């Protein structure tokens, strides 16, 4: 039998070893946190063709000051707004030189002494547009970032703040919708459109989804239907549909338009009296024309929506926190899925920019910088 003294000696030796190892690990962590970090970032100093005007630079980062944090980026998508901003044709024109990237997720590496709401290891997303997510590391004020759940994947987190939020706000802010109501939208295969479809399904709202005709239309219809679309129609089919005439579906109270031109006019024609059409994009580059009869006899309201404006005005609002909580729960429940995507290493940024600008197919493939590759 082992004596009590032997047991105590064994425990003492192992406890000493454990404490020593923990002390060494802590010393290594402390040393790493105090060493300078070399960040790689994308920068552009003039507007133009993204693959030509965007360049890669290195920057040595200092330790965070009292109310600052250091983060390492985990993933960041290449969105159409990012491309348009670099081209100089977007409503937001950052002061040049500028770091591109509106959306992404990072992890806290270090915090200043005055930071209380964030800690090392927290995952965060930027609160405001044009924050500059296309970089491996950053030091910034803690109040520029918002903590998000680590229960969702990196891709879901990196693509959370633009399209899911756009879809959420448009469905929440313009018309009171109840289970059984219907919504009609064009550009339904866009990233925002796919989120509208999924949110409608989750909330019991029927969706009528309009897409352009193409050679793979059956495949597209199948994809959107499996995503949760109630009906998927081509622009030609919308002109002759009897969905609403036969009472198969109640006329929609809300129309979402990201195309404009004749497409938007046809979508508006199917709205219920007193309905609202919200325009959040203009892919056709044609104006939205509103017939006088729609205003007088149907009392149609035409509105616009820009997620950037809403985010800037509600950066720290309780409503924004509720929105993120609800979207996060839907992602965890697998009721809200990320867009089709390709992860690509940061060093291959020219390839990512070129491919993002020439994406083809019925569902645009989103390119996402994976900073861990």
High-pLDDT (> 90) share of the chain, %: 83
90 pLDDT tier (thresholds 50, 70, 90):
very high
Mean pLDDT of the chain: 90
Nearest to 42 by CA among 283, 263, 355, 348: 348
Q: What is the pLDDT of residues 51-66, one digit of tens each?
A: 999 999 999 999 999 9
Rounded CA-CA distance 294/309 in Å is: 28
Tens of pLDDT, residues 248-277: 899 999 999 999 999 999 999 999 999 999
User: What pLDDT does 107 receive?
Assistant: 98
Q: What is the pLDDT of residue 129?
A: 87
Strand arrangement of the beta sheet that strand 206-211 belongs to: 231-234, 206-211, 182-185, 254-257, 276-279, 301-304
Contact 82, 100 (CB under 8 A): yes
Residue 12 predicted with pLDDT over 90: no
Catalytic residues: 90
Closest CA to 208 of 253, 168, 166: 253
The yes/no answer on whether domain 163-309 falls in CATH 3.40.50.11540 is no
- Enter the pTM of the model: 0.88
Which among 165, 197, 67, 73 has a CA at the least distance from the CA of 125?
A: 73
**CA dihedral (260, 263, 268, 271) positive or negative:** negative
Q: DSSP readout, 13-61?
A: HHHHHHHHHHHHHHHHHHHHHHS-EEEEEEEESS-S-HHHHEEEEEEEE
Q: Is the pLDDT at 3 greater than 80, yes or no?
A: no
Q: Which helix (H) or strand (E) holds 369?
A: strand 366-370
Alpha-carbon 99 to chain mean position:
18
Lowest-pLDDT range, 28-37, 132-141, 242-251? 28-37
- Helix, strand or coil, per DSSP, at residue 205: coil
Confidence of residue 357 (pLDDT cuts 50, 70, 90): confident
Looking at residues 207-228, what average pLDDT do you find?
96
Q: Residue 117 corresponds to which tokens in the numbers above? A: 């709401």
Q: Under CATH, to which class is 34-159+338-370 assigned?
A: alpha beta
What confidence tens digit (pLDDT) does each residue in 19-37 have?
A: 444 444 444 344 445 567 9
Mean pLDDT of 177-205: 97
DSSP 8-state symbol, 335: S
Run of H or E including 69? strand 68-78
Q: How far apart are CA 36 and CA 89, in angstroms?
A: 37
Per-residue pLDDT of 289-303, as tens digits, reads 999 999 999 999 999
Q: Coil, strand, or helix at residue 186?
A: coil
pLDDT digits (tens, 9 = 90+) for 92-131: 999 999 999 999 999 999 999 999 999 999 999 999 889 9
Higher pLDDT, 288 or 17: 288
CA distance 25 to 294: 70
Q: Taking each helix axis as running N to C, give the angle between helix 163-173 and helix 318-332, from 0 to 180 degrees, rounded to the nearest 10.
A: 120
Going from N- to C-terminal start, the domains of the chain cover: 34-159+338-370, 163-309
């Amino acid at each position: 039998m082992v004596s009590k003294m032997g047991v105590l000696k064994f425990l003492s030796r192992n406890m000493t070893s454990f404490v020593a190892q923990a002390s060494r690990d802590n010393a290594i962590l402390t040393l790493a946190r105090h060493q300078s970090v070399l960040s790689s970032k994308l920068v552009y100093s003039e507007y133009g063709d993204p693959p030509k005007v965007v360049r890669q630079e290195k920057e040595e980062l200092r330790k965070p000051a009292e109310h600052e944090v250091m983060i390492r980026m985990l993933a960041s998508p290449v969105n159409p707004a990012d491309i348009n901003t670099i081209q100089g044709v977007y409503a937001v024109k950052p002061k040049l030189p500028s770091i591109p990237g509106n959306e992404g997720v990072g992890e806290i590496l270090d915090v200043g002494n005055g930071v209380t709401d964030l800690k090392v290891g927290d995952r965060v997303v930027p609160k405001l547009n044009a924050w500059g997510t296309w970089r491996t590391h950053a030091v910034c004020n803690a109040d520029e970032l918002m903590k998000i759940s680590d229960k969702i994947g990196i891709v879901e987190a990196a693509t959370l703040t633009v399209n899911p939020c756009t879809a959420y706000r448009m469905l929440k802010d313009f018309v009171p919708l109840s289970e059984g109501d219907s919504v009609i939208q064009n550009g339904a295969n866009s990233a925002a459109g796919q989120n509208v479809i999924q949110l409608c399904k989750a909330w019991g709202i029927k969706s009528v989804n309009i897409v352009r005709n193409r050679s793979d239309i059956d495949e597209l219809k199948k994809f959107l239907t499996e995503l949760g679309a109630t009906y998927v129609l081509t622009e030609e089919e919308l002109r002759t549909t009897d969905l609403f005439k036969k009472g198969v579906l109640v006329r929609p109270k809300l129309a979402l338009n990201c195309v404009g031109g004749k497409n938007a006019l046809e979508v508006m024609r199917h709205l219920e009296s007193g309905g609202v059409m919200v325009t959040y994009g203009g892919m056709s580059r044609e104006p939205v024309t509103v017939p006088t009869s729609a205003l007088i006899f149907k009392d149609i309201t035409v509105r616009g929506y820009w997620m950037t404006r809403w985010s800037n005005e509600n950066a720290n609002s309780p409503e924004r926190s509720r929105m993120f909580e609800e979207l996060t729960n839907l992602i965890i429940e697998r009721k809200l899925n990320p867009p089709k995507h390709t992860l690509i290493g940061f060093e291959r940024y020219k390839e990512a920019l070129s491919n993002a600008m020439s994406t083809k197919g019925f569902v645009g493939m989103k390119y996402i910088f994976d900073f861990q590759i």
